[in-house]
Structure 1
Amino acid sequence: MRTIVAQDVVSASKFNRFHLLVFLWCFYAIGFDGFDIAMYGVGLPWMMEEWNLSALQAGAVGSYSLFGMMVGALVLAPVADKFGRKNVIIICMFLFSAFTLAAGLSPNITMFTIMRFIAAIGMGGLMPNCISLMTEYSPKKQRALLVGAIYIGYALGGILASLIGMYLVPQTDWRVLYYIGAIPLLTIPFFIKQFPESLSYYLARQQVGKVVEILNKVKPDGNFSEKDDYQLHTALKDGKGFPVKKLFTNKRAFTTIAFWIAIFCTMMMAYGLNTWLPKIMQSSGFSLTSSLSFNIMLCVGQIAGTLIGGYLAGKIGYRKVLVSLYLMGVVTFIALSITTNVALVYFLIFLGGASTVGAMNLGNPYITEFYPREIRATGMGYAQAIGRIGSILAPTLIAMLLVTGIDPKMAFATFAVPSILAVLGYLLVQEKYGSFDKVVEENGMNEEFIEGENKRIIQS
C-alpha cells in the first residue's frame, strides 16, 4: 500500500487542463469582484448628480458597502474551512450578482445602500476562498504567478467598468453597470458542475473516492486508487478545532498581527483610489472621460505589478518583492501630489496601481501559504476582514479631506503613510513559523518535500 500525501501530489504536479479549469473559474469570479468594486466609483459622478448627494454622503455609501465585505470575510471564511470552500463560493456568487442587480433597480439611495451592503457580503467572502483554492490546486513552481494572475481578472473587471463608464453610461444610465454585474447569476449552474471542492474538505470527511478522482486529474499518470493510504486520520485531526483560534497557535500570533497591519494599510490605499480617483482627477481640471482613463491606467498598473511581481516572487521570495513595491508607492504618492505634467501623472498612476492592488495581489497568496491548509481560508479571510476596516475608513476620510477645500491632488500624499506601515508589517513576518511547502527534490519516482519542519517522501 502506498502512502500518499494528497496536497503534496498537487504541489509537485505539472500544470494541465485541471489546473487551467480552476484558474479560469477563479479568474472569472474575481474578475466580476473587481468589476463590482470599481463600478461604484465609476458610476459615482452620475449617481451624485441624480440623487443630489454630497461628497460625505457618497463616501458613507461606499463605506457601508465595504463594511458588508468585512462581514462577509469574517463570517464566510471560517464557515468555508468547515463546510466547503466551493459551497461558500456559490453562495457568494449568488449574493453579489443577485443583489447587484437589485441595487441597479433601486429607486432611491436608501434602498441602493441596503442592496449594495448585501451584495458586498458576497464579495467579502468570495476572494479569500478563491485564493485558498487556487493556492491549494496550484503546482508549487507556478504558484506565485498563478495565484497572482487570477487578479488580472480583478484589474480587467475594473477596466471593463471604466470603459462602460466612458462609452456606454453617457448613452444610457449609470445603472447599466449594475445590470452587467448580475451576469454571474446565470453561470452558477456551470460553476457547480465544473469546479472542484477543496482536497482538505474531502480528506477531513474521509471521502476517498473524491480525493482519488481529483488526484488522477491533477497527475494523470499517478494511477491513484482507493486502496492507497491517504493519511485520513491526520486530516481528520487537523480539521478539528475552531479555525480562528489556530491563527494564534504554534507561534503564529505575531505574524498574524503583522499581516493584519499590512493588509489594513493596503486596502486603505486600494479602495481610497478605486472610489475617489475619477472624482479627484475631475476636480483637478480633467474632463470626466479623461478622469476615467486614469482609472484604466491604474488597472493596467495593477496587472503589471501582479505579473512582474509574481514572477519575481517565484525567484527571490514574496517579502522582498512586497517591500520593494510599497517603498515605490511611498515615492509615487508624494510625487503625484506635486506634479503637473500630464504624461508623468499617467505614469505615476500606473505605478500607484502596481504598488497598491498589485502588491495586495501578491500579499494574498503569501498570507494564504503561510498558514496550514486546513485554516487557509480563515487566515486569508480574517486578514481581509481586518483590511476591510481600512477600506471602510478610506472613502470617508478622503471625502472629509476633500471638503476642506485643499488641492484635491494633495490627497495622494496621504497614501504615503499607509505605504510605510505596510512595509513595516511585512518586515515583521516570522517566516520560520509558516507552513510553506517547498519542493526539495524531484527525481523520477521520488518527490521530496518539506512543509514547515516536517520532511516527507511520496513514493509515486
Structure 2
Amino acid sequence: MNSAIGGTGSEYRSPGGSVSGWSSPKHRNSVLWIVALATAAIVFDGYDLVVYGTVLPTLLDDPTQLGNLSAGTAGVLGSYALVGVMLGALMAGAFGDRLGRRRMMLINIVWFSVGMGATALAQSITSFGMLRFFTGIGVGGLVATVGAMIAEFAPAAKRNTYNAIVYSGVPLGGVLASTLAILLEDHIGWRGLFWIGALPLVVLLPLAVVKMPESPQWLLARGRYDDARKICDATGIPMPTVTAKPSATSDVVGEKVGFAALATKPYLKPTLLLGFMSFAGLLLTYGLNTWLPQIMENAGFNAKGSLAFLLVLNGGAIVGGLIAARMADRRGPQRIVATTFCIATFALICLTLGLPLPVLLAAVAVAGTGTIGTQVLIYGYVSNYYPTSARAAGVAWCAGFGRLGGIVGPMIGGLLLGAGISSGTAFYIFAGIALAGAGVTLLVPAKSELPTPVALDTIRVPLSVQD
C-alpha cells in the first residue's frame, strides 16, 4: 500500500497482493456505501437539470403558472440555476480542499433540497429564477465534491468506472425526471415535480450522516493522522502510506493548496484545457436537456412523445457512459473522451436527416452517450488528474467554468427557437461544438508529462502511522 500524499490517490493491495483489490469485505462494503450515497445525491443534480425542461412547455403555454413567458426569457431563466451551479462549484473548490469532503457533501445536500422545495412555492418568474439560482449553488457544490471523494476512496483500477457510476446519476436523474413528468405531471403539476426534488433532505441526508466518512487521504494531507487511523479502523479502508509528513495547511505542488495549486506552471495549461472540455460537454448537456422536448414538439411530436426523446437521451448516456468508462480504465480517459465527443458530432448530424422513428431514437440515444455521457467521463478524468491538495479545486474549476457552457447552451437554444431557426440548424451548431471539444481533449498534456509533487519529501512519518 504505497502512495504519497499529494499523488493521484492511494493504491490498495488485497491480502493476495494484487493492486487495486479489496483489503477486506469491510473495505469493499464501506466504499460501495460511499459510491451509492454519492450516486443518489448526483441523481438529484440530474433531476434538477432535466425537470425544468420537462415543465417548460407547461410554463410557456400557461401564463397563469408564473406569468407570460417567451422562449427567449425561458432560456435565460433556465440559465439562472446554472449561474448558481457555477458559483457553488467554485465555492466548493475554494473551501473543499480545506474543510473536507464529508462536510461539503452534507452541507450541499441540505442546500439543494431546501432550494428545490422552495422553488415549488414560487409565484412569479422573478422568484422562480432567484430560487433556481439558490438551488444551483448547492448542486454545484455537490458536483465539485463527489469527484474528489470518489477519487480518494476508489481503488486505482476502478476509479474511472466508479466515477462514471456516480456521475451517471446525472442522466439517471434525467430519466427519473422524464418518467415522473410523463406519469405524474397531469396529477401533481409542475410544483409537485419540484417537491420530489426536495426528498434528499429526509431520505438521503440521514444515511449520509451515518455512512459517509471523511477521506483518510484528505485527513493525512492535513496532518490529522489519528483521525485518519480511526476512520480506517472503523471502515476497513486501508491506511495510505505516506513518505513525508505534511503540514496542516499545505501539502503539494510547491506547498500550494486548492486554486493556488492550479495556477502553478505545471498545471496552468492542462487546467485551462480541461475547463474548456467541460465547457463543451456541459453546453451540449444543458442545451439538449433543456430544449430537446420543445424542438421535438415543434417537429410534430406530441408533448408526451417529445418527453420520451428526453428519456432516451439520458438512458443512452447511462448505458454508453458506463461502457466508455470501462474502456477508459483500460486505455486511459483522454482517448475515450475525444472519441465520445466525435460520436456526438456524428449522432447530432444524423438527427437532421429525417430518419424513421426507430432510427431517430437510436441516434438520440447515441447522442446522449456522446454529450451527457462524455461529461460523465470528463468528471472522472479531471478528478484523477490532480493531486490530493488540488483535487477538489480541479473538479470545481471544471464544474464551475464548464457551467458557463451550461449557461450558454439553454440560451443558444432559446435564441435560435425564438428567432424561428430550424431544429436542424440547432443540431448542426451543437455538432460543431462537440467536434471542437474533441480537439481540445487531444491537446491536454498527459499526466506523465507533469512533474511529481516534491514538497513533502524530507520528513518521514512515524512508523505508528504507517501500515
TM-score w.r.t. the length of structure 2 is: 0.88
- Counterpart residue number, 1:111: 127
- Counterpart residue number, 1:211: 228
**Structure 2 Cα separation of the partners of residues 5 and 244 of structure 1:** 20
- Counterpart residue number, 1:336: 351
For residue 370 of structure 1, give the secondary structure of its aligned residue in structure 2. coil
- CA change 1:432–1:105 in 2 (3 A) is closer
Q: Give the counterpart letter for 1:311 in structure 2.
A: R
- Counterpart residue number, 2:207: 190
Residue 23 of structure 1, aligned match among 11, 25, 35: 35
Residue 246 of structure 2, aligned match among 233, 244, 250: 233
Q: Give the counterpart letter for 1:203 in structure 2.
A: L
- Counterpart residue number, 1:38: 50
Residue 392 of structure 2, aligned match among 366, 374, 377: 377
- CA change 1:434–1:109 in 2 (3 A) is farther
For residue 233 of structure 1, give the secondary structure of its aligned residue in structure 2. coil
- Superposition pairs for residues 396-407 of structure 1, below 5 Å? 396-407=411-422
- Counterpart residue number, 2:183: 167
Q: Cα deviation per residue 1:324-363 (whole Å; 9 max; x = unaligned)?
A: 1111111111111222321111011101100011011111
Alignment of 1:348 onto 2:363: yes
Q: Give the counterpart letter for 1:343 in structure 2.
A: P
Q: Cα deviation per residue 1:126-177 (whole Å; 9 max; x = unaligned)?
A: 1110111011100011111111111232222111110111110012311111
For residue 10 of structure 2, give the secondary structure of its aligned residue in structure 1. helix
CA contact (8 A) 1:28 1:153 kept: yes
For residue 62 of structure 2, give the secondary structure of its aligned residue in structure 1. helix
Q: Give the counterpart letter for 1:416 in structure 2.
A: A
Once the two structures are TM-superposed, the CA of residue 200 in structure 1 deviates from its matched residue by 3.8
Once the two structures are TM-superposed, the CA of residue 95 in structure 1 deviates from its matched residue by 1.4
Residue 100 of structure 1, aligned match among 107, 111, 116: 116
- Superposition pairs for residues 216-365 of structure 1, below 5 Å? 216=233, 219=236, 231-233=244-246, 237-238=250-251, 241-365=256-380
**Structure 2 Cα separation of the partners of residues 3 and 288 of structure 1:** 56
- Counterpart residue number, 2:439: 424
Alignment of 1:151 onto 2:164: no
**Structure 2 Cα separation of the partners of residues 180 and 315 of structure 1:** 38
Alignment of 1:14 onto 2:26: no
**Structure 2 Cα separation of the partners of residues 106 and 10 of structure 1:** 49
Alignment of 1:387 onto 2:402: yes
Q: Give the counterpart letter for 2:110 in structure 1.
A: F
- CA change 1:206–1:401 in 2 (3 A) is same
CA contact (8 A) 2:10 2:155 kept: no
Q: Give the counterpart letter for 2:401 in structure 1.
A: I
Once the two structures are TM-superposed, the CA of residue 237 in structure 1 deviates from its matched residue by 3.7
**Structure 2 Cα separation of the partners of residues 230 and 203 of structure 1:** 11
CA contact (8 A) 2:11 2:156 kept: no
CA contact (8 A) 2:160 2:326 kept: yes
Once the two structures are TM-superposed, the CA of residue 76 in structure 1 deviates from its matched residue by 2.0
CA contact (8 A) 1:62 1:395 kept: yes
CA contact (8 A) 1:99 1:119 kept: yes
Alignment of 1:90 onto 2:103: no
CA contact (8 A) 1:134 1:147 kept: yes
CA contact (8 A) 2:47 2:173 kept: yes
- CA change 1:92–1:139 in 2 (3 A) is same
CA contact (8 A) 1:277 1:291 kept: yes
TM-score w.r.t. the length of structure 1 is: 0.89
**Structure 2 Cα separation of the partners of residues 10 and 94 of structure 1:** 33
- Counterpart residue number, 1:131: 147
Once the two structures are TM-superposed, the CA of residue 196 in structure 1 deviates from its matched residue by 1.1
- CA change 1:246–1:283 in 2 (3 A) is same
CA contact (8 A) 2:10 2:156 kept: no
Name which of structure 1's ranges 149-158 and 161-170 shifts more when overlaid on structure 2. Answer: 149-158
Once the two structures are TM-superposed, the CA of residue 67 in structure 1 deviates from its matched residue by 0.8
CA contact (8 A) 1:371 1:434 kept: no
- CA change 1:31–1:434 in 2 (3 A) is farther
Name which of structure 1's ranges 125-134 and 245-254 shifts more when overlaid on structure 2. Answer: 245-254
Residue 59 of structure 2, aligned match among 24, 47, 53: 47
Q: Cα deviation per residue 1:290-322 (whole Å; 9 max; x = unaligned)?
A: 111111100111112211101111111111111
CA contact (8 A) 1:313 1:321 kept: yes
- CA change 1:203–1:335 in 2 (3 A) is same
CA contact (8 A) 1:305 1:359 kept: no
- Counterpart residue number, 2:25: none
Once the two structures are TM-superposed, the CA of residue 430 in structure 1 deviates from its matched residue by 0.6
Q: Which stretches in structure 1 are left out of the alignment for 5+ residues?
A: 437-449
Once the two structures are TM-superposed, the CA of residue 230 in structure 1 deviates from its matched residue by 7.4
Count of matched residue positions in the alignment of Structure 1 and Structure 2:
441
- CA change 1:230–1:18 in 2 (3 A) is farther
For residue 439 of structure 2, give the secondary structure of its aligned residue in structure 1. helix
Name which of structure 1's ranges 116-125 and 74-83 shifts more when overlaid on structure 2. Answer: 74-83
- CA change 1:71–1:376 in 2 (3 A) is same
**Structure 1 Cα separation of the partners of residues 244 and 426 of structure 2:** 55
Q: Which stretches in structure 2 are left out of the alignment for 5+ residues?
A: 14-18, 23-27
CA contact (8 A) 1:330 1:417 kept: yes
- CA change 1:255–1:4 in 2 (3 A) is closer
**Structure 1 Cα separation of the partners of residues 324 and 43 of structure 2:** 19
For residue 105 of structure 1, give the secondary structure of its aligned residue in structure 2. coil
